[in-house]
Structure 1
């Protein structure tokens, strides 16, 4: 099964607000600020499945890990147990609707919380708390994720994102005077707290469209297109059906394929792996925004970026990953992280598609992975497994798994499906 492109579709245009009230005659600070009035600060991050993950100090007490996601509005806590530990009382309860519009889930709003990321402090931040971990990110990433930082984290700064060196730098706009002469500039439209750009897509030999695309650092895929957003967007003949990602309403299903080309200013990327969710899944979003799709981390990681929300500009400069081929699973199976297994995290085959190398070799659903090409134990991670299974066509894969009480060995050769 193809490697999952983890896409977080939480809610439709949810904008939380909080009042700035006076306490003891003084105004409370509100929003994210760089400490000590510094002009800029640098924050290192982890990169997992093309997602930016930063260390967060929640309420000045609990260290957590948050995804930095331009595709959502506010700060989100996806594990309510941490707010319960601190006895944080919600200000109100609300219901969220998933992308398909068919499943409702419960969440809570806390109008004022404290969040610290490196030298940046968020004071009196409106926080959305999910009642349960509906997203189950640990299953798809192999590491525990506790929350998300969205538009609120970006809007007060000019933000440089350096994927290759795993660094973000935040500048106070009034002091930003760095010349960006080596960067290409793209007009970026901020609509309902989300950034959009208009760029050309070459869909086949004869069809090219100017598309409206949301910039989504919280999506691991390179590109997602909505077939029902334009009659010109059609599913390519060569495609694979699979689960494309996870949202609060459950799994997002569709197809994966490739498009010949996407242009970002003067930069051109070819044979781009593209997800096509089933028609209707994003119908409300398409109707309300007119967007044709999203650009995710699989494309963004190939550039050094500057986000200037205030002036609605995106600046980009290619890095050494620009020529890297867009990879896709070539085994025919999907692997997820599970709980404790002999006191260590373990990885299990969630699905195996028929008529694929993994299936024909004999691997099956619920097989527990012991080793992949000699890597086992702490040398094994979900990200490493997925990268190995999408390296190059013809590569030999050797796997050892536990099935019931048996230890079994298998081997097969990777095959490109799209």
Structure 2
């Protein structure tokens, strides 16, 4: 009995000491599947930090795990702060301050790490929830990918985490295994873009934390430029502030044997790029709107990525044709008819025959529902020319009340066909206003 107990204790302590500095899958299969939410081409996974349930963005483009949006969870997390550092990323602003927190326990499904460092950011502006429509508390990338083989099944919306020595590759049709290069713990891949009928080799950061298809850095010496057909737009929020730039399309994009035509591309302003471009050989990024077209296996330990076509592969690359960017902005009070007060009562019709008549006792219920506000509005876009403004609260789109829909479903309406008529009702400083416009190509 004593020897058995000793063995159990030794085995348990052995697992703990072995797993404390890396992710280990603590089940018999050494592999675990976890469902995720795919929102705007981004992978949002459930994560537990110090036994607190959170949601994280799975981002191959970050080398340090970051935790933020801490207003309601900070006390429960019990983060231990040791030192203050500065983090720099895309954007034309200054670096943001973060506090390094050590010795945290992180759990993703059955994958556990007992000594995880985080960089806690208390800046309220770093908050993905309004743009995604769900709470997001952090970003994790390299620390997970370096320890495990990570399969992202975009079509069925799950990730599978496997200890590398237990992962078994299966040869599949319509798949490619491609070599990865690493710089500052971030993965890069070689591809080709076609501009003005010329194929240009490019080295791209694989950035699963970006929702666009491609970002390219304009460089005349290598032939990368936006040309004359583009529109200027808000591209997104980086760690160091907002990013603006040009949007256009490349004629074609080649990734080994895979080929895409007329792919969306963004050219960020040079002021946003200069601080982030530490890798001089880097020409841009490959992001979620291309990655989601594959089921992907990241194998950092062996330095490969495997891509297999999925059902999204042939989906057309589209732009927002309205010029509107919406964000979740708190709640608003909605008055709705209480269906419990609809009664059936006997009555007489003019012919004398008895007939049931509906009698409504006008009682209403009041509830809090999501509020959606225009936060970006492209200059000279159909919505801007129609008279809509930043700050307008959108009540309905094409007679569909916005509070009944998710943010992503509302935004999809603005990617519809050219010529589609959009009727939109907003509240502006307490006044209800109606607008109408047609979707059109932005360039």
TM-score w.r.t. the length of structure 1 is 0.89
In structure 1, C-alpha distance between the alignment counterparts of 2:289 and 2:41, rounded to whole Å: 6
SS in 2 for 1:145: coil
User: How many residue pairs get matched?
Assistant: 394
Offset of 1:89 from its aligned partner? Answer: 2.5
2:119 paired with 1:94: no
2:192 paired with 1:200: yes
Q: Against the structure 1 CA distance between its residues 276 and 125, is the aligned structure 2 distance closer, same or farther, given a 3 Å change threshold?
A: same
In structure 2, C-alpha distance between the alignment counterparts of 1:37 and 1:161, rounded to whole Å: 21
Offset of 1:282 from its aligned partner? Answer: 1.7
In structure 2, C-alpha distance between the alignment counterparts of 1:39 and 1:402, rounded to whole Å: 53
Residue matched to 1:9: none
Please say if residues 151 and 298 of structure 2, whose CA atoms lie closer than 8 Å, have aligned partners that are also in contact.
Answer: yes
Please say if residues 140 and 336 of structure 1, whose CA atoms lie closer than 8 Å, have aligned partners that are also in contact.
Answer: yes
Residue matched to 1:8: none
Which residue of 46, 60, 66 corresponds with 1:76? 66
Residue matched to 2:413: 388
Q: Against the structure 1 CA distance between its residues 251 and 271, is the aligned structure 2 distance closer, same or farther, given a 3 Å change threshold?
A: same
Q: Against the structure 1 CA distance between its residues 174 and 259, is the aligned structure 2 distance closer, same or farther, given a 3 Å change threshold?
A: same
Q: Aligned ranges for residues 188-337 of structure 1 at < 5 Å?
A: 188-205=180-197, 207-228=198-219, 231-337=222-328
Which residue of 350, 356, 375 corresponds with 1:350? 375
Q: Against the structure 1 CA distance between its residues 37 and 29, is the aligned structure 2 distance closer, same or farther, given a 3 Å change threshold?
A: farther
Q: Aligned ranges for residues 138-177 of structure 1 at < 5 Å?
A: 138-177=129-168
Offset of 1:390 from its aligned partner? Answer: 1.0
Q: Against the structure 1 CA distance between its residues 27 and 265, is the aligned structure 2 distance closer, same or farther, given a 3 Å change threshold?
A: closer
Please say if residues 213 and 290 of structure 2, whose CA atoms lie closer than 8 Å, have aligned partners that are also in contact.
Answer: yes
- Higher relative contact order structure (alpha carbons within 8 Å, sequence separation ≥ 6): 1
Residue matched to 2:55: 65
In structure 2, C-alpha distance between the alignment counterparts of 1:417 and 1:220, rounded to whole Å: 19
Offset of 1:299 from its aligned partner? Answer: 0.5
In structure 2, C-alpha distance between the alignment counterparts of 1:229 and 1:341, rounded to whole Å: 50
In structure 2, C-alpha distance between the alignment counterparts of 1:51 and 1:164, rounded to whole Å: 13
Which residue of 399, 402, 406 corresponds with 1:374? 399
Please say if residues 79 and 129 of structure 1, whose CA atoms lie closer than 8 Å, have aligned partners that are also in contact.
Answer: no
Please say if residues 111 and 125 of structure 1, whose CA atoms lie closer than 8 Å, have aligned partners that are also in contact.
Answer: yes
In structure 2, C-alpha distance between the alignment counterparts of 1:237 and 1:120, rounded to whole Å: 49
Residue matched to 1:14: none
Which residue of 109, 112, 119 corresponds with 2:103? 112
1:174-216 deviation line (CA, Å, top 9, x unaligned)? 12223224221111112221110011111222x2211000111
Offset of 1:26 from its aligned partner? Answer: 5.9
SS in 2 for 1:323: coil
Q: Against the structure 1 CA distance between its residues 191 and 97, is the aligned structure 2 distance closer, same or farther, given a 3 Å change threshold?
A: closer
Q: Aligned ranges for residues 26-45 of structure 1 at < 5 Å?
A: 29-45=20-36
In structure 2, C-alpha distance between the alignment counterparts of 1:320 and 1:86, rounded to whole Å: 39
Which residue of 386, 390, 394 corresponds with 1:361? 386
Please say if residues 177 and 305 of structure 2, whose CA atoms lie closer than 8 Å, have aligned partners that are also in contact.
Answer: yes
Please say if residues 229 and 291 of structure 1, whose CA atoms lie closer than 8 Å, have aligned partners that are also in contact.
Answer: no
CA RMSD of aligned residues (A): 2.1
For structure 1, which runs of at least 5 residues remain unmatched after alignment? 1-21
Residue matched to 1:412: 437
Offset of 1:223 from its aligned partner? Answer: 0.6
In structure 1, C-alpha distance between the alignment counterparts of 2:436 and 2:375, rounded to whole Å: 18
For structure 2, which runs of at least 5 residues remain unmatched after alignment? 1-12, 334-367
1:292-333 deviation line (CA, Å, top 9, x unaligned)? 000110010111111111111111111121111111110122
